[in-house]
Amino acid sequence: MLSDSNSSSDDDQNPKPDATSIDQSLDAIENQLASISMSQSVSEFESESEHGIHEEETTELNHQDFRNGSLSEIDQLSLHNSVPEEVSRSEKDVDEPKASSSRLWTNAVEEEEVEAPSSPSSSGYAGERGSSSSASGILEVNNDGEIDAVRNDGEFDEVSDSQAPWVPGKRHGDEDDASISWRKRKKHFFVLSHSGKPIYSRSVIAAQLFLFHCSIGYGDEHKLAGFSATLQAIISFVENGGDRVKLVRAGKHQVIFLVKGPIYLVCISCTEEPYESLRGQLELLYGQMILILTKSVNRCFEKNPKFDMTPLLGGTDVVFSSLIHSFGWNPATFLHAYTCLPLAYATRQAAGAILQDVADSGVLFAILMCRHKVISLVGAQKASLHPDDMLLLSNFVMSSESFRTSESFSPICLPRYNPMAFLYAYVHYLDVETYLILLTTSSDAFYHLKDCRIRIETVLLKSNVLVEVQRSVVEGGMHVEDLPVDPASRSGTVSHLGQPRIPTGPPERFKEVFHGIGGPAGLWHFIYRSIYLDQYVASEFSSPISSLQQQKRLYRAYQKLYTSMHDKGVGPHKTQFRRDENYVMLCWVTQDFELYATFDPLADKALAIKICNRVCQWVKDVENEIFLLGASPFSW
Amino acid sequence: MGMPSANATSETLKLCIFDLRRGQNEGQELDKILFFYPADLPFSTQLSVIGLSEGLITFTRIFSPEAACEVIEAEGHSHVFYEAEPDIWMVMVVEKNKDSEAIWRIDGLRSLLKELHSFFLMFTGSIRALLDKEPSGGLIRTHLYYFIMDYLSDFLSGKKLQLPNFRDSLKERGTVHMLTIGREAALEVQSLVKVLELCVGSSQCSSLIMYQDLLVSSTLSPEDTVNIFNYAVLRLSPRALSSGASSWSYLRKGNTAPGASGPMLPNSSSVLEVYYGSQENSVGGHSYNVLRPLKHGHWSRGNDGFLVTDSWEAEAGSLVHTCPTIWLHKTDERMYLCAYQHRSLTIIFLIPVASVLNADQEIPFVKQQIIENVALKIIKVEEKLSRGWGGENAYHVSGYRYLLVDDDRCISRASPPGKVTTLTKESLVALSRLREEVDLEKSRAKWDGLGHEKDLEVCIRAKNNAWVIARLTRGKELYMVLEKANETLLYASDAVEKFSDRYCNGAFSFD
């Protein structure tokens, strides 16, 4: 609408039709919200929490159950309904004007954010539209900050609706739980087409958009499009002026815009994440769409600007919500590198050898992964896999429940490899967390790949690789507490990541002993990224950052540090020391690697530098175990 | 279309002021524009700039009611917003990438808008008040037009406006620069202030004493001190008066003294006409008494040592020597402004208008008193300060390029500009980016209610091996570039520590 009217803006008679139209839609929005936001009642908070939006807090309490897989979907739901009441109360405290007495605490709580999108059903959205066909999901964070996506369907909606009644027609005027949810969450993503059509009308993203519209008093999809249209209007208004809008900042909020041909992506965030990080997240979101659809979807828009992409993405909401969730915990999303499961060199070699074997038989890429960590991967000659593609692919596989239950053969596109063409992915879970992906260009290679998988599986079982994988998962990665104190004593009997194993006692005991106050000199955590390997290794979280909130805050601090070091205009810098009330952080970028280390805020500078050197040495000492070393022609 | 580049020279900057309460009906949109630079842009373009701004202000208020749109970053332009008064917005649009110098720090640009508005408040009062006085808008438009054009003329370098960019990263607008004086001199100054107050005879008299472009003493609130000090540096200081002399102060630009603001005001009357051409009665500057306190060359030093101006002539209509008046920010009080200058020393004193019954008689009387009773003391103080004055590079610290800001007291001190120019562009851009980061942290802390509690230390070794450093603690800020420093972080930290101990009373030191 905007672009049309703007084309006549030379006419002084009607000089600013565009802005007026923005105004009109926005005025309506604003007036509605202004009245809404005045009142907040406890019951509304509670009803909000019943919508099950507080994934992270709830799951922190429940993860054990989830991991055991002992809960039925209904059980999960009831947990959702019972636990968040506490949470909602603390939220309420947060929403109230800042009490100066508990300022620090308040801030800490505010740090918590719930950007893991709600299940559409729990927002009442899917239920309202009676769309049981749309897949919906809940994201859960387990102990290691990883995602288990729990798929559910229409039945769930019903249950949800019955437990948390939601009356569409009721949301007007002073109804405000959705508006609270809007403000409670720190980050919102929107995807729309260049004609202003919401692309995820049935997805989690649209559910948020929908929530937003509930918050402004609109309850139906028709009006939902109005907000999309506003975003679209802003983008095309600036575009018509011969420019391209990137960012709008207002107080704590940032609105980030990304235009990808006919697809517009927008993020509204009040997290502290820098613009560059959020833009990177939109890029990944777009990449995830391309992975599902390829870029040739653009042609549909060329043919018909009002093309509705939604049906093409049907059932993929969990993929996007899981990706959005990973923006809060997975360093791969901003480091543009992947991480490996720590394994003995020989074990990884064994896995690599059999993968190489099948790669030679016409498989483009063979990837063996455990959760988001790579065990081994092999590519056909000259084919290289971008870390972002790996992130998107593993997210796609892990978030889709169907891959877990049976072997699958699915068309996918690797946006960095070739955004225009589909590849075919054969996916098979070898155990609960370990899965094999075989990529090929041939659409009829299923049986061949199945044979390959059988061969691989046999070899992996025979060579004990899967057992070793399980063992590594239990033992975890590098613990800062294990940092070798004296470089001279590195020799001798070392097994797991340079540390002598304690021969007796259960692993829990082992951890108890060593998980006290972080590593030497107040070292709390580090990330080491090898530039030429495109891989990173992050230490396990030590006790000073044991809670999810602390981990997320640390993650954000890394994002900031990374952005600051890699400034587009003048970066990359060489070294950075940063101290604030939360941490001392040190970053060191060389041609070969980047080290990001976090210390206690009172850490001694000179000592911290020494420790960083030692960390680098440690990583080099165990690089055979923590990295996938160039055994394959995979990258170069 | 939209933002046409009809005139290449006028493209680099757009500056507008608009009132959200006006022109809300269709067809009356022009009414909301109170000022637009460049004025010769087609109305469609002006309205599209304002339309976008207005749309985004409304849009952002939806989810950020406490702070509406502050900046739009587009690929080609930055739009900097400042809500000067409720519903009255100033928006500056600067072009990026036009040349390699176009690297801006948003808060640096916003401080320019703030300063402009503070000056306007000081001389003219609030925009809203003038709008209320004459709702047609002619009065405020005329005032704003001349005022802002005069202000912008300071940024004119050749035919182009040169806005503060990354090269100004070691400067802080909206602060005062102090002269450091010894104890003895301080006592002299103190007694001078006392004598001045006695002479003026009014208990509410305030004074501000400057040596060259530096503040020696002020009895005003920090905000008012900043305003008057910066105005004085721009128009009253000996350097400002001797037009053509280049100033080393950031407040004055370049060697080319614009003199009259000729280039900035190409066709003023016609420009103003178009806004209210429909209203036949009052066109152009003639029917309004326009105050132009920022106009160049309108202050001069009289034979008696007092500075005189004809800028305020028009206001009162007929009087020959009207004494200028200003509004104090803190008390909202109207004051007569008198300035006396002896060589490098400028003494500004303010007398409440309310306390003067007959200005034509009383002000000259006060002046006479000062000449008779204080002139000698002034000479003495000036001599004393001159003897202790280390020259333009007095505050240079060898090996350091720094900026020190005390937010609470609105004071800053920096390496002399001549020394800053020795830094490479790379270092300055890196510092500008770092300051941008710190600005965000500060604003974040403000919204989180932490305010001055923000404590931050950042040391970056840039690609060119320069150390770029920022330190924030208890409302004080220190920015530093060390170009020829050793490569170790400890060396850089040590350098900061030494600086802090020696020049900042250890404010940035760790014990």
DSSP A453-488: HHHHHHHHHHTTHHHHHHHHHHH-S--GGG--S-GG
Contact A45, A77 (CB under 8 A): no
Bridge partners of residue A260, in order along the sequence: A263
Q: Out of A107, A574, A605, whose CB is closest to B490?
A: A605
Provide CB contacts within 8 A for B85, sequence distance 6+: B117, B126, B127, B128
Residue B281 has pLDDT above 60, yes or no: no
Alpha carbons B503 and B495: distance in angstroms, whole number: 12
| pLDDT of A499 | 58
Contact A233, B59 (CB under 8 A): no
Alpha carbons A591 and B375: distance in angstroms, whole number: 67
- Which residues in chain A touch residue B103, judged by CB atoms under 8 angstroms apart? 569
Judge whether A610 is closer than 8 Å to chain B, CB to CB.
no
Contact B30, B23 (CB under 8 A): yes
Name the phi and psi angles at B182, rounded to 5.
-75, 170
Q: Out of A10, A275, A605, whose CB is closest to B1?
A: A10
B239 class by beta-carbon count within 10 Å (0-12 exposed, 13-18 middle, 19+ buried): buried
Q: Which chain A residue lies closest to B436 (C-alpha atoms)?
A: A564
| pLDDT of B77 | 93
Residue B482 has pLDDT above 60, yes or no: yes
Alpha carbons A289 and A300: distance in angstroms, whole number: 14
Walk along chain A (636 residues) in steps of 10 and give the mean pLDDT of each run. 37 38 40 31 31 32 33 31 34 35 29 36 30 29 32 29 31 42 72 80 40 37 63 89 93 94 91 93 95 90 83 84 91 95 94 90 92 92 87 95 90 94 95 94 92 94 94 92 70 52 40 59 95 93 89 94 91 93 94 95 93 94 90 42
Judge whether A31 is closer than 8 Å to chain B, CB to CB.
no
- Which residues in chain A touch residue B26, judged by CB atoms under 8 angstroms apart? 20
| pLDDT of A250 | 94
B444 is written with which tokens?
């974040």
Q: Which of A12, A14, A16 to mutate to test the interface with B (most CBs of B within 10 A)?
A: A16
Across residues B485-506, what is the average pLDDT?
87
Q: Out of A33, A98, A565, whose CB is closest to B62?
A: A33
Alpha carbons A141 and A122: distance in angstroms, whole number: 18
A418 is written with which tokens?
């070739």
Q: Which of A21, A243, A266, A564 to mutate to test the interface with B (most CBs of B within 10 A)?
A: A243
The secondary element (H helix, E strand) that includes residue B346 is strand B345-352
Q: Are residues A238 and B444, on separate chains, in Cβ contact within 8 Å?
A: no
Q: Are residues B26 and A20, on separate chains, in Cβ contact within 8 Å?
A: yes
Give the rounded percent of residues in chain B with a pLDDT score beyond 90.
51
Q: Are residues B1 and A27, on separate chains, in Cβ contact within 8 Å?
A: no
| pLDDT of B161 | 83
| pLDDT of A553 | 93
Alpha carbons A326 and A317: distance in angstroms, whole number: 14
Cis peptide before A572 (omega within 30 of 0): yes
Residues 103-142, chain A: which have Cβ within 8 Å of B?
103, 107, 110
| pLDDT of B359 | 81
Q: Which of B64, B69, B107, B490 to mutate to test the interface with A (most CBs of A within 10 A)?
A: B64
Bridge partners of residue A216, in order along the sequence: none
- Greatest mean pLDDT among A85-89, B85-89, B159-163 lies in B85-89
Residue B56 has pLDDT above 80, yes or no: yes
Q: Out of A16, A37, A581, whose CB is closest to B51?
A: A16
Q: Out of B74, B462, B465, whose CB is closest to A243?
A: B74
Bridge partners of residue B351, in order along the sequence: B336
DSSP A427-450: EEESSSSEEEEEEES-TT-HHHHH
Contact B56, B72 (CB under 8 A): yes
Name the phi and psi angles at A325, rounded to 5.
-65, -40
| pLDDT of A49 | 32
Q: Are residues B54 and A247, on separate chains, in Cβ contact within 8 Å?
A: no
Q: Are residues B52 and A237, on separate chains, in Cβ contact within 8 Å?
A: yes
- Which residues in chain A touch residue B2, judged by CB atoms under 8 angstroms apart? 6, 9, 240-242
A233 class by beta-carbon count within 10 Å (0-12 exposed, 13-18 middle, 19+ buried): buried
Buried b (16+ CB within 10 A) or exposed e, A256-273: bbbbbebbbbbbbbbbbb
> A556 CA to chain B: closest CA distance, Å?
13
Alpha carbons A511 and A75: distance in angstroms, whole number: 31
- Which residues in chain A touch residue B74, judged by CB atoms under 8 angstroms apart? 238, 243-246
| pLDDT of B204 | 75
Q: Which of A111, A238, A273, A553 to mutate to test the interface with B (most CBs of B within 10 A)?
A: A238
Count Cβ–Cβ pairs < 8 Å, chain A vs chain B.
212
| pLDDT of B144 | 94
- Which residues in chain A touch residue B54, judged by CB atoms under 8 angstroms apart? 19, 22-23
Q: Which chain A residue lies closest to B71 (C-alpha atoms)?
A: A249
Which of A371, A370, A369 lies closest to A439, judged by CA?
A369
| pLDDT of A141 | 30
Q: How confident is the model at residue B313 (pLDDT cuts 50, 70, 90)?
A: low
Phi-psi region of B110 (alpha: psi -120 to 50; beta: other; left: phi over 0): alpha
- Which residues in chain B touch residue A245, judged by CB atoms under 8 angstroms apart? 72-74
> A606 CA to chain B: closest CA distance, Å?
7
Cis peptide before B38 (omega within 30 of 0): yes
| pLDDT of A305 | 83
Contact B68, B57 (CB under 8 A): yes
Rg of the Cα atoms in chain B: 24
Q: Are residues B63 and A580, on separate chains, in Cβ contact within 8 Å?
A: no
Contact A274, A267 (CB under 8 A): no
Contact A577, B468 (CB under 8 A): no
A157 is written with which tokens?
């909606």
Q: Are residues B71 and A248, on separate chains, in Cβ contact within 8 Å?
A: yes
- Which residues in chain A touch residue B490, judged by CB atoms under 8 angstroms apart? 605-606, 609
Q: Are residues B489 and A268, on separate chains, in Cβ contact within 8 Å?
A: no
Q: Are residues A19 and B444, on separate chains, in Cβ contact within 8 Å?
A: no
Name the phi and psi angles at B276, rounded to 5.
-125, 40
Q: Are residues A248 and B69, on separate chains, in Cβ contact within 8 Å?
A: yes
Q: Are residues A10 and B26, on separate chains, in Cβ contact within 8 Å?
A: no
Residue B243 has pLDDT above 70, yes or no: no
Vertex A38, ends A33 and A44: CA angle to 5°? 90
- Residue whose token pair is 């602060």: B175
Q: Are strands A365-370 and A253-260 parallel, antiparallel or unpaired?
A: unpaired
| pLDDT of A225 | 60
Provide CB contacts within 8 A for A380, sequence distance 6+: A359, A360, A362, A363, A364, A365
Vertex A327, ends A325 and A329: CA angle to 5°? 85
Contact A412, A427 (CB under 8 A): no
- Which residues in chain B touch residue A247, judged by CB atoms under 8 angstroms apart? 71-73
> B69 CA to chain A: closest CA distance, Å?
4
This complex has an ipTM of 0.89
| pLDDT of B62 | 82
Which of A441, A444, A413, A407 lies closest to A426, judged by CA?
A407
B453 C-beta neighbours (distance < 10 Å), count? 15
> A363 CA to chain B: closest CA distance, Å?
42
| pLDDT of A92 | 37
Alpha carbons A518 and A29: distance in angstroms, whole number: 49
A491 C-beta neighbours (distance < 10 Å), count? 6
> B81 CA to chain A: closest CA distance, Å?
10
Judge whether A38 is closer than 8 Å to chain B, CB to CB.
no
Q: Out of B3, B73, B490, whose CB is closest to A247?
A: B73
Vertex A197, ends A191 and A203: CA angle to 5°? 50
- Which residues in chain B touch residue A248, judged by CB atoms under 8 angstroms apart? 56, 59-60, 69, 71-73
Q: Identity (one letter) of the amino acid at A554?
A: L
Q: Out of A9, A107, A577, whose CB is closest to B44?
A: A9
Q: How confident is the model at residue B355 (pLDDT cuts 50, 70, 90)?
A: confident
Q: Out of A10, A234, A245, whose CB is closest to B44?
A: A10
> B290 CA to chain A: closest CA distance, Å?
30
The secondary structure of chain B in percent helix, strand, coil, rounded to multiples of 5, reads 40, 20, 40
Residue B470 has pLDDT above 90, yes or no: yes
Q: Out of A9, A107, A237, whose CB is closest to B448?
A: A107
Q: Which chain B residue lies closest to A183 (C-alpha atoms)?
A: B63
Contact B412, B403 (CB under 8 A): yes
Contact A166, A95 (CB under 8 A): no
